Amino acid sequence: MEEADVRIGETNKDLMTTQMAQAKRLSKWKNYNEIFDNLTIQKTVPTSFPIVSCMITYDSTRTILVTKEDDTAYHIRQFSLTTQELVCTERYGGSANSYIKMKDVEQNAVGDRYAIAYIDDGNFKLRVFDKEPRTEEQALAKELDINKELGLNDYTMPIDGFGDPYITCTFVTDKILFVNLFHNGDSKHYHFFFNSETREIFGKFDHFLEGMSPLNFPYKCFWNETQQEIYTFYRQGQAYRIKIKKIEGTETYETVETQAEKITDVDLGTMFLIKETCLVCRSSGNILFFKRIYDEKTEKWYWTQYHKLQHKGLLYFIKGNIRINITTDEKIFFYLVNNAEYTPVLENVMYNHM
């Protein structure tokens, strides 16, 4: 039957084309068009260079972009969420010998201090900053030369075509950061703690990873304030748990225990830690869920996969939320992850018309 033969009010779905069915469902809203106008405010904000990553600060005042000028220079730009104006920018690299990889900016619990860990031609760097603009000389004076501090050579070679810099960091307090990296020149994992105010380094640790692929790297690390632990995860499934304790009367922490394990044999991508308990990871055509389960034989806790969603798409999560979003080519899925077992429950799904 032709589309023109479909009668108004026809309820037989077999006689209706998709377009006509959609028009019928939406027709009841035709008198309420104005309600749906201007729900989204758009404004073009020139960033000068392509965006590598974008982050909204926890205090909802800034958008922080990592932008790439070319392989030798990156810029971190801060835009006001109120005015959309550029309020602060810093350049990284820019010399003839630079070859930079940087990806994610990390922030403290309240969103007013930030850090970026990156690599420049085999040299690992860490820079901590806030909302105040500063000169290039001031920024470089505060930058941490990690190779120098750990006695590392510059043989680490990141992967061409990947933005990952083989180093990640996370805030433990407003001043203390945890930093970890993979030096693929000697197949070693390194991590340490850094006081950004006193510039003291403590808790240095290195671990030889036998047979490790030089294409592996730490993807993300998280701070668990409740358990006083840091979790760090590699792309190819390796993981470390570092339990710490504050030394009384100081701002320094001591390491109580370091545990290494391999949580999966598949490659991991975008990941989030929900309520300090549930690790959600993107992996090829699946979304994987892990949590720490106690092994009575070894008397230790291990990250164990307990659930899997078969979605091939992008994974999103906002800290403090109780749901994850999975965006595929055709649909956007909303899953609640707020029950005692942290099992995802499908809340809603909509077509992706973007």
Contacts of 351 (CB under 8 A, 6+ apart): 330, 331, 332
Place 211 in a pLDDT band, splitting at 50, 70 and 90: confident
Query: Is the confidence at residue 15, as pLDDT, over 80?
Result: no
Q: 205 with 282, same domain?
A: no
pLDDT tens-place string over residues 182-192 = 999 899 999 99
Structure tokens at 193: 């703690």
Q: 274 with 257, same domain?
A: no
pLDDT at 319: 87
Residues forming beta bridges with residue 78, ordered by sequence position:
64, 88
pLDDT at 35: 74
Q: 162 with 282, same domain?
A: no
Q: 31 with 69, same domain?
A: no
Please state, in angstroms and rounded to a whole number, the distance separating the CA atoms of residues 334 and 345: 8
Average pLDDT estimate for 205-215 = 92
Q: 155 with 194, same domain?
A: yes
Q: 199 with 223, same domain?
A: yes
Q: 190 with 307, same domain?
A: no
Please state, in angstroms and rounded to a whole number, the distance separating the CA atoms of residues 62 and 105: 13
In a domain, 42, yes or no: no
In a domain, 297, yes or no: yes
pLDDT tens-place string over residues 291-337 = 999 999 999 999 999 999 999 999 999 888 899 999 999 999 999 99
Type of residue at 278 = C
Please state, in angstroms and rounded to a whole number, the distance separating the CA atoms of residues 142 and 241: 29
Q: 121 with 245, same domain?
A: yes
Contacts of 335 (CB under 8 A, 6+ apart): 309, 323, 324, 325, 326, 344, 345, 346, 347
In a domain, 41, yes or no: no
Q: 289 with 354, same domain?
A: yes
* Domain stop point among 262, 286, 321: 262
Q: 186 with 92, same domain?
A: yes
User: How many separate helices (H) and strands (E) can be counted in the chain?
Assistant: 3, 25
Query: Is the confidence at residue 277, as pLDDT, over 90?
Result: yes
Average pLDDT estimate for 216-241 = 97
Each as own residue / partner, the long-range contacts of residues 95-98 (CB below 8 Å, 24 or more positions apart, any chain) are: 96/72, 97/121, 98/71, 98/72, 98/73
Signed CA dihedral, 205, 209, 214, 220: sign only: negative
* Domain stop point among 216, 235, 262: 262
In a domain, 222, yes or no: yes
Query: Is the confidence at residue 19, as pLDDT, over 90?
Result: no
In a domain, 253, yes or no: yes
Please state, in angstroms and rounded to a whole number, the distance separating the CA atoms of residues 35 and 33: 5
pLDDT at 1: 43
In a domain, 341, yes or no: yes
pTM of the model: 0.87
Please state, in angstroms and rounded to a whole number, the distance separating the CA atoms of residues 342 and 207: 32
Please state, in angstroms and rounded to a whole number, the distance separating the CA atoms of residues 214 and 223: 26
In a domain, 287, yes or no: yes
Tally of domains in the chain: 3
Structure tokens at 203: 């808790």
> Which domain does 324 fall in, by range?
268-354
169: domain CATH number is 2.130.10.10
Q: 207 with 304, same domain?
A: no
pLDDT at 266: 95
Q: 155 with 56, same domain?
A: yes
- Is the separation of the CB atoms in 292 and 303 below 8 Å? yes
- Is the separation of the CB atoms in 223 and 172 below 8 Å? yes
Phi, psi of 216 (to 5 degrees): -90, 160
Place 46 in a pLDDT band, splitting at 50, 70 and 90: confident
